[in-house]
A and B are shown apart, each in its own frame.
Chain A
């Protein structure tokens, strides 16, 4: 990090022009939206029953999805970074596919796997479990799109750190599980935290896969982004107010990560 007092590299002056345009491009729409907020009605708008349902549902499902990302994504990252097996590169590419897949396509893929006529859905239905168009489907859609963020972040950190600390731990007598818990994961903790935050943010903003696979049922599957999209047509003031809520949540998360990784780094 360059601190004040440290020498600075000279930058070409023209570089500032596109940089400033880029910054404006991101900041201006947010500012424009804020000018349209009806602050007088704001509390009422965000505490209507539909809004509260959507907010609570979004936070609940995103947290569960983030937990699933941790439980599934950390083992995936460790296996991809450390285990040696044939087809690992192909597997890595496949696992990261949801990053580039349009979310609506992800939703359709999930529907034809876990939906009523899906690959596994039929067996599940026979067993008395119906996944599609339920809160479970919301969590699954969010996990599907958010998982690669955690995997890519943790795996990259593991590759950068290398296996040297783990080798030392093993020669000191630590069996593999202890090495994983006391060395491997703590060493990449900053990357793990930022991966979790990215996953949570991605889950919170998830729209396409959710509406395709889970539908839009108030209190059960209609998350905040869905609610905003629906309100936009009938009550734009409510849509803007809820958007502000999402922005605030996003800013809070960013602040929280800064604080956490600042302490561990």
Chain B
């Protein structure tokens, strides 16, 4: 099942256009309030856009004309689109088994068939031992597995996942992520997340949404390796400076900062371009360093935060990863003016 969607919803300032090829998983990433969940709700039929259309292969989910009149509108239960939310939302009055059987039973399956499906999918997500339990007796991770089995037992043609791991603790998130990896293989799905790990491990493609618009879309490796939007870069832990090219190997941004680097393909002077470099390639100095092949940026430290064994120092929208001992030697603290240096060889330039 391949998915095509275009939708405009003025009330939430959302105007998106995206597609998911058959059997692939698309990660939709963006800030809170960027419109990610709105997109899922439109696909599930829980929200009606002002205009747009969506189709799953030949099946038209909806088509809303320019004047907001729905020429075609499948109701949520007619779409074969299952939605797994951040919270498991298991029906509290039903047993785990009855929860998973809910989809098949609602579509008229016989009791025995529904039971078989429930057992199959509970086993597939590693939750078969909970079959006779009540949802209140399950932990967050267990409940989310059961919710996943329930969504899969409905045999959806499209699976929507809205930050499915966000409400779980680190350990159960890792386990459920692994389960998701297995069940998403070969399945057409859209997963909303702001966790780079989810996108890397679960998705074939990434779409970056910002202020209700898709600002970047492509295969996972490409978007992560060569992010073109500030959000994607920050998500991947990369520094990014966007501006316009002044020569084949340099660009200048709005603040007048010049960046020299290695272009992925030659830049055309005057065209939009981005420079991307890793925080661990950045060195921090209290006095301007010397050296010809270096890009220099000056500013006050805005924030200092721990990052695994390193310390990440933020200067505006740029960051540098330092060892704790360097931070101590340089006596860094927020508010102190510093010079950031990065070798041109460490900077990659992309046309935008």
Kindly list chain B residues whose C-beta atoms are within 8 Å of the C-beta of A167.
Answer: 44, 46, 76, 83
Answer whether residue B201 sits at the interface, using C-beta atoms and an 8 A cutoff.
Answer: no
**Using a Cβ cutoff of 8 Å, how many contacts connect chains A and B?**
69
Answer whether residue B151 sits at the interface, using C-beta atoms and an 8 A cutoff.
Answer: yes
Q: Determine chain B's interface SS by DSSP, over half rule.
A: loop
- List residues of B (74-130) whose CB comes within 8 Å of A's CBs: 75-77, 79-83, 85, 87, 89, 91-94, 102-103, 106-107
Return the chain A residue nearest B44 by Cβ.
A171
Return the chain B residue nearest A178 by Cβ.
B106
Which stretch of A28-36, A49-57, A85-93, A182-190 is in the interface? A182-190
Kindly list chain B residues whose C-beta atoms are within 8 Å of the C-beta of A264.
Answer: 93
Kindly list chain A residues whose C-beta atoms are within 8 Å of the C-beta of B83.
Answer: 167-168, 171
Cβ-defined contact, A187 with B91, below 8 A: yes
B190: min CB distance to chain A, Å? 13
How distant is the Cα of A46 from the Cα of B239 in the complex, in angstroms? 88
Cβ-defined contact, A173 with B92, below 8 A: no
**A187/B106 contact (C-beta < 8 A), A170-B75, A172-B154 known:** no
Please classify how large the interface on chain B is, using the bins under 10, 10 to 19, 20 to 34, 35 or more: 20 to 34
Kindly list chain A residues whose C-beta atoms are within 8 Å of the C-beta of B339.
Answer: none
Kindly list chain B residues whose C-beta atoms are within 8 Å of the C-beta of A175.
Answer: 77, 106
Please classify how large the interface on chain A is, using the bins under 10, 10 to 19, 20 to 34, 35 or more: 20 to 34
Kindly list chain B residues whose C-beta atoms are within 8 Å of the C-beta of A164.
Answer: 85, 87, 89
Cβ-defined contact, A186 with B93, below 8 A: yes
- List residues of B (271-322) whose CB comes within 8 Å of A's CBs: none
How distant is the Cα of A172 from the Cα of B150 in the complex, in angstroms? 8
How distant is the Cα of A189 from the Cα of B94 in the complex, in angstroms? 13
A172: min CB distance to chain B, Å? 4
How distant is the Cα of A183 from the Cα of B76 in the complex, in angstroms? 15
Return the chain B residue nearest A183 by Cβ.
B91
Answer whether residue A39 sits at the interface, using C-beta atoms and an 8 A cutoff.
Answer: no
Kindly list chain A residues whose C-beta atoms are within 8 Å of the C-beta of B76.
Answer: 167, 170-171
Cβ-defined contact, B89 with A165, below 8 A: yes
Known: A164-B89, A186-B91, A187-B92. 13 other contacts (CB 8 A): A168-B83, A168-B89, A168-B91, A169-B91, A169-B102, A170-B75, A170-B77, A171-B83, A172-B103, A173-B106, A174-B103, A186-B93, A187-B93
> What residues of chain A have their CB less than 8 Å away from a CB belonging to chain B?
164-165, 167-176, 178-179, 182-183, 186-187, 189, 264
A-B contact pairs, 29 of them (CB 8 A): A164-B89, A167-B44, A167-B76, A168-B89, A169-B91, A169-B102, A170-B46, A170-B75, A170-B77, A171-B44, A171-B76, A171-B151, A171-B154, A171-B160, A172-B77, A172-B82, A172-B102, A172-B103, A173-B80, A174-B77, A174-B102, A176-B77, A179-B77, A182-B91, A182-B106, A186-B91, A186-B93, A189-B93, A264-B93
